[in-house]
Structures are given as structure tokens and as C-alpha cells.
Amino acid sequence: MEIAPKINPPLRTLLGPGPSPVNPRVLQNLSLPVIGHLDPAFLKIMDESMAMLRELFQTKNRLALPMSGTGTAGMETCFVNLLEPGDPVLIGVNGVFGTRMVDVAQRCGAQVDTVEAEWGTALDPAQFRVAFGKKSFKVVAVVHAETSTGVLQPLDEIARLVHEHDGLLLVDTVTSLGGAPVKVDELGIDACYSCTQKCLGCPPGLSPVTFSERAIEAVRKRKTKVQSWYLDLSMIEKYWGSERVYHHTAPISMNYALHEALRVVLEEGLEASWRRHRQVHEVLIREMRKLEIEPAVTESIRAPMINAIRIPEGADDAKVRQRLYDDFNIEIGAGLGPLKGKIWRVGLMGHGARVENVELLANALKRLM
Amino acid sequence: MEIAPKINPPLRTLLGPGPSPVNPRVLQNLSLPVIGHLDPAFLKIMDESMAMLRELFQTKNRLALPMSGTGTAGMETCFVNLLEPGDPVLIGVNGVFGTRMVDVAQRCGAQVDTVEAEWGTALDPAQFRVAFGKKSFKVVAVVHAETSTGVLQPLDEIARLVHEHDGLLLVDTVTSLGGAPVKVDELGIDACYSCTQKCLGCPPGLSPVTFSERAIEAVRKRKTKVQSWYLDLSMIEKYWGSERVYHHTAPISMNYALHEALRVVLEEGLEASWRRHRQVHEVLIREMRKLEIEPAVTESIRAPMINAIRIPEGADDAKVRQRLYDDFNIEIGAGLGPLKGKIWRVGLMGHGARVENVELLANALKRLM
């Protein structure tokens, strides 16, 4: 056969829904020498990353670690560990990722009820109250920042309701972690998953998760084995905990990258990072308005790191995105599902949440429209 | 909190059961600029890697792609896609990974029968014949190179039997792929998984899998959904195929690394790589014998890339391995299960299968014993 040539990826400005631009310090860590997954030096890196992840999640949870897969592996980790066949679960659905949660939960054999909202709007806590009035749920799951719609879901009231009814709160923070407050302990989130390739400014490949003691207790009380061996936290916590029991070979290089990405976020400071994401988001809204491009989401629930903007009348969706690639090396995201052809999604995440990136995009769009 | 210091991994000579030493060309690819998972430039890289994986697996199978997880994710991919609750499966068990397969298959709700052999010996095809005499099996699963014991399982006779009885043959080539012949089409292997961190000389993080048309047909005929959303090949093949339907964000950097690792293997040539692994293995056996260290596995079934050697009488297992780390920066593997304290496992895999590594180890052991 003909052997493929050496790859030579283009230099893109990644302003889509992720992956986001990677800090060069993080990229450098990827090419550090590989060591074994039971090497004492690697075990130390794991401990340090767990401590930093706790800070990111604002939690004292013992269990805070990166699963060896991308964000959806983290989603599946939460569902397969918490749910057994027949368990009742309530899921908020107002975008792709809520929809995906339903599919994942059904594959666990759970009884799934949903609270729905139009894509691009937030879930209404009143509907969760109504649902709890009819039955009780072991787990209630919502997406914090819906990457498909640009909505940042307010969590306080939903969290209060779930706890009043003794449920476990499961939150998707794939896109929000590091870019907006994710206060696991303060809100009482019981299971939370994220990813590396959005506001942490790291390549995709790992999924940080954290479980509260209540959630771990629920895993311990299971009558059946977790349906996924690869994602079974009762075994994985023995590798990340003091026992160091081999489970699977951790992705060493990706763990090096995550370690540096966490250092970068914490050096800046979490609050400073949240503020920066908010400020750059505001600059984007201002710059887009100059081009008569309007935000698609109501101000109070806009996710700062993933901006849904309305495609202006007369603009050719696919053509503009293609020319952004071809002429400007800029990636932005298309709309999905009912929002296809109606919105663009502009990610300003992690290392990419910088005013100069907004300017690059604004200048490019000005020339394309 | 105190932020962890920048990591500084030691330079180890990785002669354990994996990860193996990584070729510097592969490490370099890891720090190339990240692009999006739907970027046309990335789609091209995916196509090229699929073509190269087909060559590695010696197959014309359309479906040959890296799953976004480590080797065990590949194992789970094969089982969850092929098995539905109640399906009968026959699994060969003579080490850790056969044992793990049983656990994974049971979590799929399958009816599991086993053929067993003492750890350190090969499975006996006659026992598969006996099992088929009693019932029929949808899937028969065996491990090619048992990483925990150093046995290379002869596959020909088992493969013939499975096909005579119209079963699907599932083979774990985690440790053998690239280091010994894995002829998927010639043997009629229906589902095969491997990993990146053994004979491909790439860091851990991806799991190449391939499915025959018969295996894909079995997935299509399922009555129930695959229990793992993350590992559901019916969706994943639409991202890797011409449809390009978004499933999950591929681990971009790891895919860059795999691409270069495949190039390295194919530039050397598969047969040359198999020969090199065999030759370096022979040098190891010779050098160990000079130290009165004997191989633990019968000659005809020794896996060249993972060498089980008997711990000589009087040597302190843990202490020797610790001093190899501390004084020589060499990693070797301990025995597992019934072989704990009885064997060491010396991996000579991928970029690490070189005579100079055998010499490093032999010199170090000479000084430690």
C-alpha cells in the first residue's frame, strides 16, 4: 500500500463549539516522555490533578478524576454508575446534549421522564416541581451550558427542588467548567462531568468527573454490576485512590496535558477566568451588533463561552463557514437540529477567549457579508 | 490552594507490559496544532489512518478505526456491539484479559461459557470442540497475546472450529498487533481490537478495532440498542464513514500520534517489524539464560513482545523491580494473579524492541542479583 504522507494540520483559529485553541504550554506537555501508569512519578501527577480538579469543580469530593474518554464518556460514566434497570430518572431536554442524556439513560434500562423546553430557551424549574409532584426520581439530570444552543441553565432552583425530594443531581458541565461558575458543593451537585477541550484549553480526550459521597453511596448500594466495565467507578477509584489497583492503562500523555491545563487555569485564578470569559463574550455581542448580527439567546441565560448568533438574512450559512475556513482559517460552529441554518455558534473558550479572536472573526465576517 | 509544580517525568526505559517506548516522531505529532473534529483536514487524516489500520490488521474490512479510549474500551466495543442479553458466548480464559472478557460479556447480559487453561499455557482447541458439541455460540472470544502470562495463542484451529459452527470470532490483539502476524482476513477474525501503547509505539489512549461484514451484519440485526452510547459502532461508523455525522469529539492529538505511529510501522514494513520483535525476543532469552533466568512459557507459544521470565530463586521480586526503577530507570512488569512473585514480564514492544534495551536490562539485572 501507499503510506500516507506526514500530517501537516493547518493553523486554525478555533472559534467553534470545541475543540478550543490549546495553550502552547499544554501542547508542549503532550510530547514529554511517556512513563508507566503505575510509575510512582505518574501516581504523583494523578494526585496533583485530582487536587486541581477539586478546585475547578469547587468541591471537597474525594472522587474527582479524569475518565479516559471524551465528554460523552463522562456523561455515560455518570448514568451507568448511578442507574440500574428500572430506576426513575428525570432529564431536562432543550438541546442536543439533553437529548443524548435521554438516549444514554434509556440504554441503562432506566425509566426516563423529561422536562422539555424549546431549543434556545432555558428549562423551567416549575416543570421539575410538577414532575416531582407525580413521582419520585432517583436522579435528575440537566445540562449547564447547552453547547448546541448557547443557553446557560440557571441551576439554583432546580438543585433546591431535587434535594427537597431527595434525588441525586447530575449536571453536564462539559462546556461551562472553567469558563463560568460551577460550584459543585455549594449547589449540591452529586455527579458532574466535563471535558478537556472547551474552557480548560486542552485537546479532547479526557473527561473530568466528580461524585459526591451520596452519589458514591448510591453506586455502592447497587444490586447489579455497572453495565460498563471500562467506566465502572467502583474499580476506577481503586486505581486513583490509595490502593492503586490496576484497572486500565491511563492515557499518559493526555494526563500530562490536563495537568498543565489545570495549572494554567488555576494560575490565572478561577474567578479571573470566569470574568475573562464574560468580558470577551460582551465584546463579541457588541462587535456582532455592529455587523447587525444579533444574539439568538435572551441576555440573562446566554452562555458566555458558546455564543449562539442569528445568521443574518441573505447570508449563506454553509458558504460563509467554508470561506471562514478557506480564507481566514477560522472555525465556527453550525446550528444543529431545529437551529440548523438559523444560528452560528461562536466558541470563546479557555485560551481562545481573547478579544483579539473576536476581532479576527468580526473582521472576517465584515468582509464576507 | 497550592498549584502543583510543572511536571517533569523521568526518562524511563519502558520494558514492562506497556506503555512501550514512544518513537520521538510520534511524540512530536502530539504537539501539532489542534484542529476541529469536522475540519476537512482532520477528515483526511481519519481516512488515511483507516487505510493504514486495514494494512496493520491485514484486512479489507471497511470498518477499521480507532475507538476513543484505551484497549479495554476496544474490548468493550466488541462485546457490547455483538452481544445482546441472553446471547451465548464462549470465552477462552488463561490470564487476566480472558478473565476480563468474561466480566465484560456478563455485563452485557450474555450467557457466558468458558474454556480454561492454566495461566502460562495455551488454550486447547479440543476443548472448544467439546463446547461446540454441547451448544452453539454466537461469539467465541480469545486473547492472542496474553499480556499477563506471555503466551501467544495459536489461532488457526480455533478459528476453523468457530467458522464450522457459524460463530463470530472475536480476538484481542492488544499486545500482538504490529509485533506478530495478525491476519484478520486470512484467519476470518470477525471482530478484533488492539491498543496504541504496545507494538505500535504510540502513547496509550486509542483502541483500533476492526469488524468484518458478518460482524457488522450481526450489529445491524440487533433487536436492542447497544448498551453503550459512547461505543455504539452503528453511530461511530457514520462519523468515520462518508456521512460524517457528528458523534463525539475525536481525541485529535492522539489521532495525530496514531497516524505517525502507523506510518512508522508501515515504513519499516509489517513483516520486518514482526521479524525484529522475534529476533530481539531471541536475544532476550539468550541473555537471560546467561544470568540463569529461564523463560516461563514453553518455546512454541512464547509471545515475542511480552516475555514472561521466572524470577530466580533468592531474588526479591519487589526489591529488584524497585531498584530497576531507582538505579537504572528501567520499568519491567510484575506477575499478576497466580503468577505474582513467580515471573517478571519483559515487554519488548514497538520502538522498544531493540537489542540495546535487552542489553540495558541484562546489565542491570546482573548488577542487582
Tell me whether residues B72 and A108 touch, CB distance under 8 A: no
Look up the CATH architecture of domain B13-18+270-368.
Alpha-Beta Complex (3.90)
Average pLDDT over residues B54-75: 98
Q: Give the model's confidence band at B1: pLDDT under 50 very low, under 70 low, under 90 confident, else very high.
A: confident
pLDDT at B306 over 80: yes
Q: How far apart (Å, rounded) are the C-alpha atoms in residues B240 and B8?
A: 36
What is the overall mean pLDDT for chain B?
97
Say yes or no to pLDDT of A5 above 90: yes
Structure-block grid coordinates of residue A13: 483559529
The neighbour count for residue A44, using CB atoms within 10 Å, is 13
pLDDT score, position B345: 98
CATH of range A24-266; options 3.40.640.10, 3.40.50.150, 3.40.50.740, 3.40.50.10490: 3.40.640.10
Q: Is B64 left (phi over 0), alpha (psi -120 to 50) or beta?
A: beta
Please say whether the beta carbons of A67 and A77 come within 8 A: yes
> What is the phi-psi region of residue A87: left when phi exceeds 0, alpha when psi lies from -120 to 50, beta otherwise?
beta
DSSP code of residue B133: H
* Cβ count within 10 A of residue B300: 8
Give B313→chain A minimum CA distance, Å: 25
Site from A7, A268, A323 to mutate, B interface, most B CB atoms within 10 angstroms: A7
Q: Using the predicted structure, report yes or no on whether residue B89 has a pLDDT greater than 90.
A: yes
A260 within 8 A of A114, measured Cβ to Cβ? no
Taking residues A105-118, what's their average pLDDT? 98
Q: What three-state secondary structure class fits B344?
A: strand
| Inter-chain touch A72–B108, beta carbons under 8 Å | no
Q: How confident is the model at residue A267 (pLDDT cuts 50, 70, 90)?
A: very high
CATH among 3.90.1150.10, 1.10.3720.10, 3.40.50.920, 3.40.50.300 for A13-18+269-368: 3.90.1150.10
Q: In chain B, which residues have their Cβ closer than 8 Å to the Cβ of A306?
A: none
- Predicted local confidence at residue B28, as pLDDT: 97
Q: What is the DSSP letter of B20?
A: P
Q: Give the phi and the psi of residue A188 in degrees, each rounded to 5.
A: 75, 40
Q: How far is A19 from chain B (nearest CA, A)?
A: 6
Per-residue pLDDT of B282-299, as tens digits, reads: 999 999 999 999 999 999
Partnered with residue B143 across adjacent β-strands are: B172
Q: How far is CA A237 from CA A75, A222, A246, in A?
A: 17, 16, 10
The answer to whether A228 contacts B76, with C-beta atoms less than 8 Å apart, is: yes
Say whether pLDDT at B178 is over 80.
yes
Average of pLDDT values for A304-322? Answer: 97
B79/chain A closest Cα distance in angstroms: 11
Most A CBs within 10 Å, among B230, B246, B264, B328, to test the A interface: B230
Q: How many CB atoms lie within 10 A of CB A212?
A: 22
B37–A22: do the CB atoms touch at under 8 Å? no
Contact flag A3-B103 (C-beta cutoff 8 Å): no
Question: How far A164 CA sits from the closest chain B CA (Å)?
Answer: 31
**pLDDT band (50, 70, 90) for residue A99:** very high
Mean pLDDT (whole number) for A214-231: 98
What residue segments make up the domains of chain A, in order of their start?
13-18+269-368, 24-266
Looking at residue B45, its pLDDT comes to 98
Closest chain B C-alpha to A191 CA, distance in angstroms = 18
Is A100 close to B229, i.e. CB distance below 8 A? yes
Q: What is the mean pLDDT of residues A340-345?
A: 98
Taking an 8 Å cut-off on Cβ atoms, the answer to whether A263 and B3 are in contact is: yes
Residue A1 has pLDDT above 80, yes or no: no
Closest-CA residue in chain A for B31? A27
Residue A182 — pLDDT band, cuts 50, 70, 90? very high
Which of B29, B52, B103 is nearest residue A229 as measured by Cβ atoms?
B103
The average pLDDT across B144-170 equals 98
Model confidence at A356: pLDDT above 80: yes
The closest alpha carbon to B7, from A258, A296, A100, A166, belongs to A258
> How large is the ipTM?
0.98
SS3 label, residue B210: strand
C-alpha distance from A165 to closest chain B C-alpha (Å): 29
Nearest CA in chain B to A12: B35
Residue B2 pLDDT greater than 90, yes or no: no
Q: What are phi and psi of A39, to 5 degrees?
A: -65, 130
Residue B137's identity, in one-letter code, is F
Mean pLDDT, chain A, rounded, equals 97
Instruction: Note the pLDDT tens digit of each residue in A41-80.
Output: 999 999 999 999 999 999 999 999 999 999 999 999 999 9
Contact B73 A69 (CB under 8 A): yes
Are residues B71 and A248, on separate chains, in Cβ contact within 8 Å? yes
**Distance separating alpha carbons of residues B336 and B119, to the nearest angstrom:** 10
A-chain residues within 8 Å CB-CB of B248? 70-73
CB distance A39–B331 less than 8 Å? yes
Residues of chain B contacting A229 with CB distance shorter than 8 Å: 72, 75-76, 100, 103-104, 107
- Over pLDDT 70: what percentage of chain A? 100
B24 alpha carbon, distance to own chain's centre: 21
- The model's confidence at residue A275, banded by pLDDT at 50, 70 and 90, is very high
Paired sense of beta strands A151-152 and A168-172, if any: unpaired
> Is the pLDDT score of A2 beyond 90?
no
A182: Cβ contacts below 8 Å, ≥ 6 apart:
A56, A57, A58, A144, A171, A173, A176, A189, A192, A194
B103: part of which helix (H) or strand (E)? Answer: helix B96-107
pLDDT at B196 over 80: yes
* Nearest residue of A to residue B245, measured between CA atoms: A336
Residue in chain B nearest A174 by alpha carbon:
B249
pLDDT of residue B183: 97
Cβ pair A107:B229 closer than 8 A = yes
The answer to whether A13-18+269-368 and A24-266 have equal CATH topology is no
Q: Residue B185 belongs to what H/E stretch?
A: helix B184-187
CB contact under 8 Å between B225 and A107, yes or no, is: yes
Longest CA pairwise span in chain B (Å): 64
B201: its cell numbers: 509505539
The residue among B11, B55, B78, B81 whose CA lies nearest residue B259 is B55
Q: How far is A48 from chain B, CA to nearest CA, in Å?
A: 6
- Quote the distance between the C-alpha of residue B222 and its chain's center: 27
Nearest CA in chain A to B48: A4
Region B38-50 average pLDDT: 97
Is the pTM for the entire model greater than 0.90?
yes
Q: Do B7 and A37 touch (CB under 8 A)?
A: no
Residue of B nearest to A11 (CA): B33
